[in-house]
Amino acid sequence: MESDNEKPRKKKKRPHWTVRGLGPSFTACMGFVINVLYITFPCSWLATHVSVAYPVASAMLLTGTLVTFLVSSFMDPGILHQGSPWPGTAEVAYVIVNGQRYDMDWCSRCEIYLPPAAWHCRRCNACVDVSCIEMTGTTIQESVIKMALS
Report how far residue 71's alpha carbon sits from residue 140's, in angstroms, rounded to the nearest whole number: 10
Cα 75 to its chain centre, rounded Å, is: 10
Compute the mean pLDDT over every residue in the chain, rounded to the nearest whole number: 71
Where along the chain do its domains lie?
A: 16-74, 79-83+93-149
| CA-based nearest residue to 70, from 150, 144, 142, 126 | 144
Residue 148, pLDDT > 70, answer no
pLDDT at 112 over 50: yes
pLDDT of residue 49: 92
Task: Give pTM, 2 decimals.
Answer: 0.47
Dist. CA 107–CA 120, nearest whole Å? 7
Q: What percent of the chain has pLDDT over 70?
A: 58
44 — phi, psi (to 5°)? -65, -40
Q: Per residue in 80-101, pLDDT tens?
A: 666 666 555 546 677 777 888 8
The angle formed by the CA atoms of residues 98, 139 and 60, to the nearest 5 degrees, is 90
> Lowest-pLDDT range, 2-11, 80-89, 108-117?
2-11
Kindly indicate the confidence band of residue 1, based on its pLDDT and cuts at 50, 70 and 90: very low
SS3 129: coil
How does pLDDT run across 27-57, given as a tens digit for each residue?
A: 778 888 888 888 888 988 989 999 999 888 8
Contact 73, 137 (CB under 8 A): yes
In SS3 terms, 11-73 reads as CCCCCHHHHHHHHHHHHHHHHHHHHHHHHHCHHHHHHHHCCCHHHHHHHHHHHHHHHHHHHHH
